[in-house]
Structure 1
């Protein structure tokens, strides 16, 4: 049974999310402020976290940053659920490591579909794992979501990790933006190319020790290949 942690201070939204997800068999943990949310995430290790941005004690952006920095919670998928609709807010959330962003008011059915898509992605990764992937000094252990360069951890977000696995498993293959979004975020995702580009930019920065291995193909997308 999948365990979901909702970090949200609005009681009505707490009740709506809990009711809709429990009907579908989820166990729902609830935290009403950022501090409690971080504590529950570390102790309970949920399969997925739903995170509001406007929270008492510690705001959602800081919660997201801390979750990604902690070893125990770094690989847990995060869906931001917020009334903030500006593109800038969405970009900041994704840059801090969130995997998806859903604005309020929202459809419980859409939230459930996005949760299931994220959980399926994690399952597929585990099923396809056949030992570490390697590229020079880069080593990726898929089942534990660990990537290192010369034995130094890269501290990737879940989406950065999934992009890297796809690239390294298929070097020199050009992937369109549309394909990458569908493959990594899922067919139900409303993710746009700007979100993808933000993740690629962060991934490039974390792969600097390998040299410029992640290339743009103008008008098409990206490929992973060492430049000679």
Structure 2
């Protein structure tokens, strides 16, 4: 059975070594990069199946790495998860809007690392190909407001309510109100049905 190849881009040596060790012990093939520029080069030449990337790095930060990865046809669909320190909410929001799949807060538990890899790789294998450029605007024809469309857009990508609070920069009560309105307008009872309708709409687009 082919081992999945994981790229770890992290400028802090001890953190990088710990991540590499954990992932190898979990049975993955691991390649590493000491900074953003090296991460971009390694991604282009080694074609990893999954990328973990720190946000705050000298020369080229995680956002720059993500832009380069998404701009390359060979890596544009590669699952990309940010590793971030506590308190970096603006950075997380910006990164998700650039096309990151998710983020994990350091220090990261083994279960979180492995769970992120498995869920994203499984989703990539199971989901039908979606248009290259997705946006909340694609959901506006469902009769949603701009904010509701943005909420549903992230919900359809598997984001939990806590993630939605960060991405939309609002309180949990506001997210719950948006979801109530979305369910009502779509004629569905839960987030699973709403997400399915959103994905169907974006596929059709």
List runs of 5+ in structure 2 lacking aligned partners.
170-177, 187-197
Indicate the RMSD between aligned Cα atoms, in angstroms. Answer: 3.4
Distance across 2 between alignment mates of 1:6 and 1:101: 13
Aligned to 1:193: 164
Deviation at 1:118, TM superposition (A): 0.6
TM (norm. structure 2) is 0.68
Taking a change above 3 Å as real, the CA distance of residues 20 and 95 of structure 1, as seen in their structure-2 partners, is same
Q: Is the 8 A contact 1:85 1:103 kept in 2?
A: no
Relative to its length, the structure with more strand (as a share) is: 1
Deviation at 1:60, TM superposition (A): 1.2
Relative to its length, the structure with more helix (as a share) is: 2
Taking a change above 3 Å as real, the CA distance of residues 192 and 59 of structure 1, as seen in their structure-2 partners, is closer
Aligned: 1:184 with 2:157 = yes
Which of 32, 35, 47 aligns to 1:33? It is 35
| Count of aligned positions | 170
List runs of 5+ in structure 1 lacking aligned partners.
130-141, 148-154, 199-215
Deviation at 1:108, TM superposition (A): 2.3
TM (norm. structure 1) is 0.62
Distance across 2 between alignment mates of 1:47 and 1:93: 19
Taking a change above 3 Å as real, the CA distance of residues 83 and 217 of structure 1, as seen in their structure-2 partners, is closer
Detail structure 1 runs of 4+ shifted over 4 Å in the superposition.
176-180, 194-198
Distance across 2 between alignment mates of 1:190 and 1:6: 27
Distance across 1 between alignment mates of 2:15 and 2:116: 17
